[in-house]
Amino acid sequence: MKKRESPLPFALMLALGGCSLAPAYQPPATPSAQTYRDLGPWVAAQPSDQAPRDHWWQLYADGDLDALQAKLLANNADLAAALAHYQQAQAYALQARSGLFPQLGSGATGVRERQSDHAPPMRNPNAPADYDVYSVGAQASYEVDLWGRVRNTVEAGRDNALAAAADLASAQLSLQAQLADNYVQLRGLDQQIELLQQTIQAYEKALKLTQTLHAGGIVSGLDVSRAQTQLADARSQSSQALAQRTLIQDAIAVLVGENAANFQLPARTELMVVPVIPLDVPSTLLQRRPDVAAAERRVAAANAGIGVARAAWFPSLTLNAQAGFQSTGWANLLTAGNRIWALGPTLAFDLFDGGYRKAAVAAAKAKTDEAGATYRGVVLTAFQQVQDNLALLDHLGEARANQKDAADAAQHALDLSMSQYKHGAVSYLDVVQAQTTALQEKRGLLQLDTQRLRASVQLIRALGGGWSVEQLARK
């Protein structure tokens, strides 16, 4: 009766094959609040009420901005570089995954050899000293992952690839927000330039009035000089605004991948409205920011690296197999008598390494601590950015209401001063002061509108745009 083999060795191998020396992973704890402190122009987000998943800038309802964002996705050089980096990370993950499978190879050789006359013969003593050796065969090897080294390497590679995917999303979000911010500034400058052009026209009329009154001997030449000064100053401000617009336009050209010398956006002065932004509770921010997701995946990858470093303390077991044919001539190479084969395991263990493995484990633990601290810092920065931009929107909204009252009052004062000046009731100095104040208050109002729009863009960026951590599963 044939003796039945015990299943214990196989069970032991399977048990060892499932072993992992990496610590149980838990994302680092981070402080979080239940609500945001400031109030502002947003609504509580519902499950179906988020910023558009891939086109959050459509909240601004601007066709030109939509077209520019499409060009950015297609042509931006920095985004292309981030995509290439992600593709590298994917390739490295696939390289690591190959360790889960046997390595197969084949080869053929044909060499002429000579054995020494004075060394012990390696062949039949009657055989010639010079001879040919031909061989053809295949070999296979497989590392039995007893301690989880391969699996943890694969896990670290996968987590690094996921982090790179989140980095790509973060780079895309950053560039999209930068483009939207520049576009908002450009439209704000268009409004200021239009205001300055209207102001220049009003000042030209005022100058003609003073020149007419001066010609009639009603006012002195001082009034004419003051009117000329105001006009020249307004023209200077207009030139400065045009210069700023050119710089912003050139920055947009680079973002959309076009030559600044050939790129031009026509002026538009329509008022852009600050959108209503759906806002989740603070804890969901960790799921909506790609940079937070990237930092968390790097903690997981570093944690798996501890398992890889620890596995070096234990023996490695490799199963090897080789088979083929060997002969002194090609003619009869593939015959049964020329068959060769080898089969057996290799067990390797480092007895002394001068502290290398101990240092590697310490380095892996320190890397995990570093990644955890970086993750906590990214999370805290994310909360700060949301809170800061909420506060900006809140307080700038109040400031805009007050600024609007100030601009209206300054315009009324200017109208009164011009009317009284025409009747000789006030000096032109009063008109100049009223003109200066009115222009400052109107420009201040336009600048506040631009600041609020920019704060809304940065708030959407701080909230993660339309991105969520669920997208990592689709990479």
Is 46 a residue whose pLDDT tops 90?
no
pLDDT over 90, % of the chain: 58
Q: Measured in Å, how far apart are the chain's first and last C-alpha atoms?
A: 57
User: Alpha helix (H) ranges present in 148-280?
Assistant: 149-215, 221-255
pLDDT the model gives residue 450: 96
Altogether, the residues listed in the chain come to a count of: 475
Q: Do the Cβ atoms of 191 and 447 come closer than 8 Å?
A: no
pLDDT at 118: 67
Q: Which backbone phi and psi does 28 adopt, to 5 degrees?
A: -60, 140
Q: In 3-state terms, what secondary structure has residue 464?
A: coil
3-state secondary structure 204-227: HHHHHHHHHHHHCCCCCHHHHHHH
Residue 289: pLDDT over 90? no
- Distance between CA atoms of residues 124 and 176, nearest Å: 78
CB 455 within 8 A of CB 389: yes
For residue 209, the one-letter residue type is: L
d(CA 294, CA 467): 13
The helix (run of H) or strand (run of E) holding residue 352 is none
Residue 45's pLDDT is 44
Q: Could you tell me the pLDDT band of residue 471, with boundaries at 50, 70 and 90?
A: low
For the cut 60, the answer to whether the pLDDT of residue 275 exceeds it is yes
* The predicted structure's pLDDT at residue 475: 44
Model pLDDT, residue 121: 60
Q: Rounded to 5 degrees, what angle do the CA atoms 76, 459, 379 make? A: 90
Calpha distance 251→264 (Å, rounded): 11
Give which of 460, 454, 385, 448 is closest to 57, Cα–Cα: 460
Supply angle C-alpha 105, 109, 113, rounded to 5. Answer: 140
- Residue 447: phi and psi, rounded to 5, are -65, -40
Hey, which residues does 103 pair with through a beta bridge?
Answer: 141
Strands 316-327 and 277-279: unpaired
Encode pLDDT of 206-256 as tens digits.
Answer: 999 999 999 998 889 999 999 999 999 999 999 999 999 999 999 999 999
More confident residue, 444 or 427: 444
The pair of three-digit structure tokens given for residue 321, joined into one six-digit string: 């197999």
Closest-CA residue to 298 (of 380, 367, 377, 381): 367
Residue 470: predicted pLDDT: 65
pLDDT at position 9 is 44
The confidence score (pLDDT) of residue 183 equals: 98
Kindly list the distances between the CA atom of residue 69 and the CA atoms of 66, 73, 161, 452, in Å, as whole numbers in the listed order. Answer: 5, 6, 26, 21
User: What would the mean pLDDT of 362-377 be, rounded to a whole number?
Assistant: 95
pLDDT of 29:
85
User: In Å, how far are 27, 144, 360, 369, 411 from 23, measured between CA atoms?
Assistant: 12, 21, 15, 13, 70
- Mean pLDDT, residues 376-389 taken together: 91
According to DSSP, the β-strands at 42-44 and 277-279 are parallel
Contacts (Cβ under 8 Å, ≥6 apart) of 437: 410, 413, 414
Please tell me the predicted confidence (pLDDT) of residue 1. Answer: 42
Tokens of 34: 């239940």
Query: What is the distance, to the nearest Å, from the Cα of residue 128 to the centroid of all Cα atoms in its chain?
Result: 70
The CA distance from 303 to 324, in Å, is 43
Please identify which residue in the block is written with the tokens 């201040």: 444
With a cut of 90, say whether residue 64 has pLDDT above it. yes
Output the six-digit token pair for 363: 């380095």
Structural contact between residues 371 and 345, judged by C-beta atoms closer than 8 angstroms: no
Of 44-58, 122-136, 173-187, 256-270, the poorest mean pLDDT is in 44-58
Contact assessment for residue 67 and residue 338, using Cβ atoms and an 8 Å cutoff: no
Q: What is the pLDDT of residues 83-126, one digit of tens each?
A: 999 899 889 898 888 888 899 999 989 888 877 766 666 556 66
